[in-house]
Amino acid sequence: MRRSTIAAGAVLVALVPIAVLLPRLVAPVVRAHGVSVSAAGWCRKGLCIEGATTGRITVRTAYLGWDGVLHLVDVHIADENAAAGVVARAQPAAELSAARLPDIPFVRRVDVENLVVEGTPLPPLSGQVLPERHLVGEDARVDGDEAQLVLHTEFGDVEVTVTPGIAGSHAIAARCRCTLDVPALGGALSDRDLRIAGNLDGAAFTGEVMVEGVRVAVEAHLGGPARLTGRFALRETPIAQVYSIFAPIVPELERAELRGTISGTGRMTIEPLSVHFEPKIAGFAVDGLVGPEYRYGSFTWLGHDATGGPIPITGGDELPGWISLQNAGELLPMAIISAEDAGFLKHPGFDIQGMLAAAGANAEAHEVVRGGSTLSQQLAKNLFLSGDRSYARKLRELLYAVEMERELGKSRILEIYVNVVEWGPALHGAKAAAAAYFLKEPRGLLTEEAAFLASILRNPRGGWAKQYVGGRLNASRLAWIIDNMVGLHPVLRREALAREVHFVPPE
């Protein structure tokens, strides 16, 4: 008994200095493994550590329990490339592995409480890091090399799944029932099915984006905070399917039949937003929107009274104030085409490149500043739609324009146009405009007079007030229109450029 007591006392005497010295040994031991600590000492839970740091990882407090489990509390990973690694950081335990914590003696498991990865959409995570990963947070879970999370965005909840890919990359899948509601749209794109699937290798993404079943192949690269560049390709897709994306803001889709396909390739930049698309459209046709009365007969559209308020107007063949295209003369239609749509006689009712250029200008200005409409689309706006400047209106007027081109033809479109467009306060149609400004019939207009009427079509009330009443003629635009009137005899062009425009005196 005496010997055993002496042995126990000797062991105790040997352990006391070890117990006293062990906290002091923590700093040099873990420093050898790339970890620095602020302080270490015994506590009720075990060996407690304050302020541990390794690389971009900091730990507020930690303790090594008597059971060999290392507990980390309030862990922060500062990701220098957060914008380029948002999805990759869905597996933050990889950062902890780099600290080589498993090599520290007596550690058999590492648990973490409140793990935060800077610059990512991940919520704080808690759970086991080593030897296996099982981390859970609000709407997020990491199991081994797989992660699932739900991102709460202004457009809707996005469900994201990350799994191991090839050669260290990550396979990404995301899905959202999203709603996009911005003023430029002219309405809300609600409950749209958006899916993304592909492979993320560092900052490079290759995969597919699908919206309401429309598939677009994408190759993109994250080049810094909020900057993304890439290429995309739309395989041949029915135009009706593409339009279905915009069904909430295009009511015409309920009664219109769309035919044809669209495909193409393009490139994009986000922040600043820039999109260049080279489409191929085949067989685009629309039925069900334009009635037979527009071929010949009378119809009603919404015009404006002298104060600018809406007023229904009825016009058409054989009604007072209506003129045939023949009675409009040659010069006025020629000037209108020059001013508003030089490609009118050649295009199918729309100009894709013009519309895309306008979309780019609008994106740069963060508002709708340019339309890109053809003369046929302008007529569609006047006959069937309001004058609001939105993408919804552009999509709608395109449907009417395509059907009018096939059902009415160029001559009839131009004839209706010169009879319904506004040329000043309560002035609708060429007959009223020619009489008000020049006391003439449309076919009796001189070249410069026809060019003036064409020049104010974009802002007829402004043209009336500033140029006609105010006497501040926009001579440069007038000359530009005359110079570009295709088919105008050179002699008539020289004479028109040399003459001044003489109006009937304003009342």
The band of 54, judged by pLDDT with boundaries at 50, 70 and 90, is confident
Q: Taking residues 139-154, what's their average pLDDT?
A: 89
Strands of 66-186 (E only): list them: 69-77, 109-117, 125-130, 134-137, 140-143, 146-153, 156-164, 170-182
The band of 28, judged by pLDDT with boundaries at 50, 70 and 90, is low
The model's pTM: 0.79
The band of 271, judged by pLDDT with boundaries at 50, 70 and 90, is confident
Q: Report pLDDT for 477.
A: 97
- Token representation of residue 171: 């396979």
On the CB side of 368, CA atoms within 13 Å amount to 17
Name the CATH code of domain 289-498 (choices 1.10.3810.10, 3.90.1640.30, 3.40.630.30, 1.10.3720.10). 1.10.3810.10
pLDDT greater than 60 at residue 19: no
- Residue position matching structure tokens 């009675």: 327
Rg (CA), the chain: 36
Cα 277–278–283 angle (5° rounding)?
Answer: 120
At position 41, the amino acid (one-letter code) is: G
On the CB side of 119, CA atoms within 13 Å amount to 17
Query: What is the SS3 assignment for 430-441?
Result: HHHHHHHHHCCC
Calpha distance 418→412 (Å, rounded): 10
Task: Answer whether 63's CB lies under 8 Å from 47's CB.
Answer: yes
At position 319, the amino acid (one-letter code) is: L
pLDDT greater than 70 at residue 79: no
The band of 469, judged by pLDDT with boundaries at 50, 70 and 90, is very high
- Token representation of residue 359: 């979309």
Q: Report pLDDT for 389.
A: 84
What one-character DSSP code corresponds to residue 375? Answer: H
Task: Answer whether 436's CB lies under 8 Å from 322's CB.
Answer: no
- Which ranges of 459-499 does DSSP label H, i.e. alpha helix? 460-462, 475-483, 490-498
End-to-end CA distance of the chain: 130
Whole-angstrom CA distances from 102 to 29, 59, 71, 196 are 13, 16, 13, 37
Strands of 239-339 (E only): list them: 257-270, 274-287, 298-304, 310-316
Which of 21-25, 71-75, 390-394, 471-475 is predicted least confidently? 21-25
The band of 20, judged by pLDDT with boundaries at 50, 70 and 90, is very low
- Token representation of residue 317: 């063949």
Q: Report pLDDT for 49.
A: 83
Q: Report pLDDT for 498.
A: 96
At position 432, the amino acid (one-letter code) is: A
Q: Report pLDDT for 507.
A: 77
Residue among 220, 263, 266 nearest 242 (CA): 263
Task: Answer whether 35's CB lies under 8 Å from 54's CB.
Answer: yes
Calpha distance 161→87 (Å, rounded): 9
Which of 153-167, 442-456, 474-488 is predicted least confidently? 153-167
pLDDT greater than 60 at residue 248: yes
pLDDT tens profile 323-378 = 999 999 999 999 999 999 999 999 999 887 777 766 665 555 555 445 578 999 99
Across the strands, what pairs with 185?
none
- Token representation of residue 291: 């009635």
pLDDT greater than 70 at residue 85: no
pLDDT greater than 50 at residue 320: yes
Calpha distance 89→121 (Å, rounded): 9
Domain range annotation of the chain = 27-143, 165-288, 289-498
Which of 2-16, 50-64, 143-157 is predicted least confidently? 2-16
Sign of CA dihedral 181, 365, 229, 226: negative
